[in-house]
Copies of this chain bind each other. A is one copy, B any other.
Amino acid sequence: MMVRHLVTIDDLSEAEIQAIFSLADEFLASMPSPGSPHRIRGCLPLADQFVLATLFYEASTRTRFSFETAMIRLGGHVLSSADPKTTSAAKGETIADTVRVLQNYADVIVIRHPCEGAVKVASEYSDVPIINAGDGGHEHPTQTLCDLYTLQREKGSLKNLNVLLWGDLKNGRTVHSLVYGLARFGARIIPLPAEGFGLPEHVTRRLLRDYDCVPLSNDELIDAGTDKFPVDVVYVTPEKPHQRSLFSDVKEKGTDVLRVRLPHNALSKIDACYVTRLQRERMPGDASAENYPMVDTEFLKDRRYRHSSVMHPLPRVTELGYDLDDDARAVYFKQASYGVPVRMALIAALLQIKPDVLGAVPPKKRHSLFARSTVHCDNPNCVTGLETEQRYLTPKFLVIIEDERLTIRCQYCEHESIPEFIGRSSTKKYEPNRMRWESLPDDITLFTDEAAAIAAGYQPYKQRLKV
């Protein structure tokens, strides 16, 4: 039986996510807290033969506790490493080595790491399940599971929900994972970022390319109920890719004009407001955000928010008014409580205590793999840039040919880069990366820059043109 990991939310199929949610429902129903039905109480005798280790290279009491609680409520045992300075990384140990020792102790390992892609590296060297509890600005997939589960519990289904995203949409890994998850389950995404904190281009590009999630500008959303609603764009996913034509005149790439037929008044009510804090720790040192907006009862007076669930991944700072705490629409503490049943279900699934939740094999990747060091990831916070990890790690990239220029996505941090040059090993020639490929030749080689091509012994394709 193959070992499954949860590094990104894409490691789970939609069916698997739904199966995890059903199991979480079961746990909630069978372990109710008197008076707080969203809360798990008591312990089950399910995991008493298992040990979960938390390995936090970056401190987070909340997240660590939620995993440890989940394991304890399953009847299991916990090894706890709370503090970055107490890990053997301080002695220069690599992630691969740490994991290969730890798998001798624990049956499942939860990792938080400040570098993007670090947990993916861990998963490649582990034969026990690895769970990503946050790797830098990359992913925090169990938070996404909790967010989606909260929406489903509160609203019955994720399909066609209008979800407003509020605050720092630029730096928050939580939000990036969430938008992909929302797209996959067919919710409509309505970004309302603080000024200068919009969704990054790489996220919106992936939404369209990888999740068939189409950006519709407000101008185009006539009759959808967005009048006087200061929204620039809404992301909508048709049920099936071939239904894209439901949004008439969608142009496959570069959509400058779009006629849209959403249901009448489809956007006139907001099902959920997802509020995020300013991710100060992921911003450059001198960045600042004066006038970062606040969601409070005043903001929610508008009738389109009358039934909005207000969500927040917590901790909040000042972006969410305390006056909301007693408002029935505030579900952020309930959302935190759902972290326990969801993580219980995930752990039970990965440990195969509940064997029918996950399929035998993880969801397929549809892109080709390129694994040579002639290109490198240009994300400065990628794990492949760490000196310790370079001792053993070969960069790996998925090669994406759908974009205008051939693009590579780092297998670890999932950051996308565009190699400057492309070569063919059969001819030992290289040329600038400037055209779209219909399909990828077997002998292709990618180069971060021309120097890398020359160092690899390649010649320019059309030498005469270079004069």
The chain A residues found within 8 Å of chain B, CB to CB, are 35-36, 38-39, 41-43, 48-49, 51, 53, 55-56, 59-62, 65-66, 68-69, 72-73, 77, 79-83, 85-88, 90-93, 97-98, 100-102, 104-107, 127, 281, 314-318, 322, 325, 333, 336-337, 339-340, 391-392
* Contact, CB under 8 Å: B83 / A79: no
Q: Copies of this chain, how many?
A: 3
Interchain CB contact (< 8 A) of A104 among B77, B101, B337:
B337
CA distance A392 to B42 in the complex (A): 32
* Contact, CB under 8 Å: B316 / A93: yes
CA distance A339 to B91 in the complex (A): 20
List B contacts of A317 (CB < 8 A): 91-93
* Contact, CB under 8 Å: A88 / B315: yes
* Contact, CB under 8 Å: A88 / B72: no
List B contacts of A48 (CB < 8 A): 43
9 closest cross-chain pairs (CB), A and B: A104-B337, A93-B315, A59-B86, A322-B392, A69-B105, A42-B49, A101-B336, A72-B77, A92-B317
* Contact, CB under 8 Å: A82 / B93: no
Interchain CB contact (< 8 A) of A83 among B83, B92, B322, B391:
B83
List B contacts of A127 (CB < 8 A): 35-36
CA distance A217 to B293 in the complex (A): 62
For this complex, 16 residue pairs linking A to B, each with C-beta atoms less than 8 Å apart, are A38-B104, A41-B49, A43-B48, A43-B51, A59-B85, A59-B90, A61-B88, A62-B88, A65-B81, A68-B79, A69-B79, A69-B105, A91-B315, A101-B314, A104-B337, A325-B392
For A59, A281, A337, the residue with the greatest tally of chain B CB atoms inside 10 Å of its CB is A59
For A36, A41, A101, A316, the residue with the greatest tally of chain B CB atoms inside 10 Å of its CB is A101
CB nearest neighbor in B for A48: B43
CA distance A391 to B321 in the complex (A): 9
Interchain CB contact (< 8 A) of A79 among B60, B65, B77, B93:
B65
CA distance A161 to B269 in the complex (A): 71
List B contacts of A98 (CB < 8 A): 62, 315
19 more A-B residue pairs beyond the given contacts A43-B48, A83-B83, A93-B317, with a C-beta to C-beta distance below 8 A: A36-B127, A51-B73, A53-B65, A56-B86, A59-B83, A59-B85, A61-B88, A69-B79, A72-B77, A82-B82, A91-B317, A92-B315, A92-B317, A93-B314, A97-B314, A104-B336, A104-B339, A104-B340, A318-B391
